[in-house]
Amino acid sequence: MNHITQTTQLERVEHVLGSGSGILDFAIDGESAYRTWEGDEDADWDIEDVDWVENADEDRFLIYPEAEYFTCEIDADRGVVRCWCDE
């Protein structure tokens, strides 16, 4: 698991695994491990262009994009995450 600690933009995000506690794990095409952003319950995150949401287990859920991938920007300093589809 790779922790996101600085502002970054992720391309080719296949899905996002989220939790009620504010942790988001990003599955990147071609990578075997998630990239993890540890926010908190009041974190400001917005995921657009969602095709469907699937319950993974208990408080964990998977968010899938309408297109093949999401692009996600993480502003680590402000605790803001935005994801959308480019297509």
State how far the Cα of 76 lies from the Cα of 8, in Å rounded to an integer: 8
In the chain, where the domains are located = 2-84
Q: In the structure, what pLDDT confidence band is assigned to residue 17 with cuts at 50, 70 and 90?
A: very high
Using CA atoms, how far apart are residues 79 and 56, in angstroms rounded to an integer? 24
Selection from 66, 38, 64 nearest residue 53 by Cα = 64
Q: Predicted confidence band at 21 (pLDDT cuts at 50, 70, 90)?
A: confident
Q: Which of 7, 81, 17, 3 is nearest to 43 (CA)?
A: 81
Residue 1: band (very low, low, confident or very high) from pLDDT cuts 50, 70, 90: low
Model confidence, pTM: 0.92
47: amino acid identity, one letter: I
Q: Which residue, chain included where needed, has tokens 């935005």?
A: 82
